[in-house]
Each structure stands twice: as C-alpha cells, then as structure tokens.
Amino acid sequence: MRVPVSAGRPAFQPARDLHYSEVSVAVAVPSRVTAAPPTDLNARIAGLLGDLAAIQTVRPKAVAFRHAAATVFSLATQLDRMRAEKPLPKFPGIGPSSQRVIDDVLETGASATVERAVDASGKRADVERRRTLRDRFFSRAEVIRILADPQLSGVTAADYRADFQMHSEWSDGSTTLPVLARACAARGYSHSAVTDHAHGLAIARGMSADDAARQHREIDEINARHRDFVILKGIEANIDATGAIDVSDEQLAAFDLVLAAPHAKLRETSDQTERLLRVLETPGVHILAHPSGRKRGERAGIVADWDAIFARAAAVNIAIEIDGDPSRQDVDFVRAARARDAGCVFALDSDAHGPDELVYVETALAHARLAGIPATRVINCWPLDKLRRWARSRQQR
C-alpha cells in the first residue's frame, strides 16, 4: 500500500544540508545516567547559525548559514578549545557573518548579533519554537568527548561489529552495495545489514518486491566475494498511520532483518501509542527504528507513552534503535535509559546514506554510553550466529 508521506528525507536532499544548533543537557535524567556537562559550545553556535538560516528571505543566504551551521556542528573539536591553542583557522564555507556569530559566542556565550537579527525579522516566535527542538542533540565534538569519557560505562566502539541501518542506490542512498560493503569491512565490521526503504516510501524511491529479489541476488554475489564480511538482507519498512507496515507477511521472510520506522504524522500532537504498539505485534519485525521521528530544530516527533512501548518491545524481544544520524539522535540518552530499565535490547545504527556517514554510529554509541547500556544488550555487538538465532525467533512469533 502506498502511504502519503508528509515528512522524511527527500531523495534529493544531501545529508550535509542539515542545520544544527544548541544542545542542552540540563535535564532530569533517570538514576544511573551520567549527564554530560551543559557546554556543547559547537552545538550552541550551530544553533544560532541555524536561527539565522531560518529567518533569511533570500534562499542563497539561508543555504550559506545552513552550511556554516553544519560545518560547526561536525567539527571534531570544540571551538573554544581550538582557539585556546591557536588562532582559529579560516573554515571553508564560513563567511564573515557566520564568523561574527562564532566570535560573539566565544566572547560572551551568546550572540547579540543573532538576537538583533531575529527581532528585526519578525520571526522571533518561530525561532523560539525551533530552539525548543534542539534538546539533547550532540555535536560531533561532544560525541567524541563522550566516547572518550572514562567515567562512563557501557558499550564501546571496540564492542561494535555490525551496523543495521544503511541505504544504498537501491533506494535513497548515494552509493552502490559493493562500495558500502567495502566501507563496512574497512571499519572492521564482521557483518552489517543494508536496509533500503520498502515501496511505501515513494519519496525515498522505495523498493518493490521485485527490486528486493534483484537486490538479494546482488548481495549473494557480493557475499561470495568477501571472506570476512557478510551483508545481511535488510529492509526499512514504513509504518503507516494505522501502525501497519508496507511489507507483506510473505515478503518478510525473504529478509534477514526487518526495521520498521515511522516517516509520517511526525508533527501530530495527539497520542500515537497504539500505532507503535501495533508494529510491535507484527511478526517478523526486528527493530523499531528511529521510533519518534524527531528532527533537530524541526519537529519533536511522535507523542506516545514510551514506557508502555518499551515494556512491550522488551516482552516481544524487538530491539529499540538509537539512530545516529546527527539530525535524528532518536532515541536520545534519557529515553534510552528508560528503555534500558524496561529490559529492552538495542540496535545502534548509523542510518548512513553513503560510506562517509557510517561514522554517524558514534553518535548512537555516545547516547548508549550515557544511558549505561551494556554491550550484551546491543544486537550490533553480538556474533552473527547469535544475531541470526534472535532474528529467526522473531520470525517464528
């Protein structure tokens, strides 16, 4: 069934075209969760640059600020630490207006320049709304700090051996299966699943059943060539408004791993617990992927009784995904800690749409470490035979 899609990543939109901003981790966190210090300066600066992008009336200017925001958000080091060592370098894509915002924040912690521009634009309410949608999103520099924090326990990058959400040219990814497979193997993974979209997600050029059969022949050929790496046959099914998925019962058996994810009705404010609970009762679904559908600075995602969803997911042994796409970070460490307490297992995935985005899994690892999730509860850390046993047990339900 073809579902109307109101949101999701348009096929033509480069992943780089994200605007990022401020992070605030000054939140009530469940016991045993270590809160990060509330100073992700790069996220704050990127947020302010995103604010400037949002108020522009001329598209090239908006694009330029979005690009500057993405550049700052993806830096490996916090800008204040960089400047403490030497004068800041000239960053490609960061013009004088963006540089002024960086200087403002490094000098004063805020940007009077941005606040004046927001007031002059008459879009203060919209900007304030966007600012509330940036909580608990980490910049790349903050992710790197969290991964290196010796105070944290839980899953580490060294435990991680397989990525279970990535997209190829068979749907909305930018590259071929052989290239993705080589990139995963180069990261030291023993296996991974390619999870192109199913046909219901037309905006992402989803695969028909015939496409999937042809893709599976290509996967078999690639696996025959690799000695130490296996690509699993995955799919990202779309959860429609009623909680049904766009892969039929007969088709489900053809896949090693089935992700189910919402891509529409993500801005509704009414409760959608029933929609997600229905997915958890679907035999053959393995992973509830980016469960809320939140998007940084854009939407809060699905409103639901998450404790009820996590309790049911634990009971039926469906994994809860922490999606590492920097603009998603769904579920974040606070919600992940609740899923951990409910007894869930987790999938930590990059949601890569090209080989250079496989590194996004580190964002998922950062949230998992803050939530204190052990490697034994992370299906990406299991040996392939254990994963296959778990996957089959889900299919037999």
Q: Least distance from C-beta 245 to Zn ion, angstroms?
A: 12
Pairing of strands 191-194, 346-349: unpaired
Q: Least distance from C-beta 261 to Zn ion, angstroms?
A: 4
**Nearest Cα to 369, choosing from 156, 76, 160, 161?**
156
Q: Least distance from C-beta 348 to Zn ion, angstroms?
A: 15
Q: Least distance from C-beta 310 to Zn ion, angstroms?
A: 19
- In terms of CB distance, is 9 or 394 closer to Zn ion? 9
If you ran DSSP here, which 8-state letter would residue 271 be given? Answer: B
- In terms of CB distance, is 142 or 323 closer to Zn ion? 323
Tokens for 179, please give them.
């290239």
- In terms of CB distance, is 229 or 360 closer to Zn ion? 360
- In terms of CB distance, is 41 or 285 closer to Zn ion? 285
Q: Least distance from C-beta 290 to Zn ion, angstroms?
A: 6
Q: Least distance from C-beta 188 to Zn ion, angstroms?
A: 25
SS3 322: strand
261 contacts Zn ion (rule: CB under 5 A): yes
- In terms of CB distance, is 118 or 287 closer to Zn ion? 287
Rounded CA-CA distance 313/329 in Å is 19
Residues in contact with Zn ion, total (CB under 5 A)? 1
DSSP assignment string, 340-368: HHHT--EEEE--BSSGGGGGGHHHHHHHH
Rounded CA-CA distance 387/379 in Å is 7
Q: Which stretch binds Zn ion (CB under 5 A): 149-157, 257-265, 270-278, 380-388?
A: 257-265
Q: Which stretch binds Zn ion (CB under 5 A): 254-262, 274-282, 312-320, 356-364?
A: 254-262
Q: Sort 250 into a burial class: Cβ within 10 Å, 0-12 / 13-18 / 19+.
A: exposed
Q: Which stretch binds Zn ion (CB under 5 A): 100-108, 187-195, 256-264, 336-344?
A: 256-264
Measured at the alpha carbon of residue 261, what is the angle toward residues 147 and 171, in degrees to the nearest 5?
Answer: 95
Residue nearest to Zn ion (CB): 261
Find where tokens 């998925």 sit: 245
| Contacting positions for Zn ion (CB under 5 A) | 261
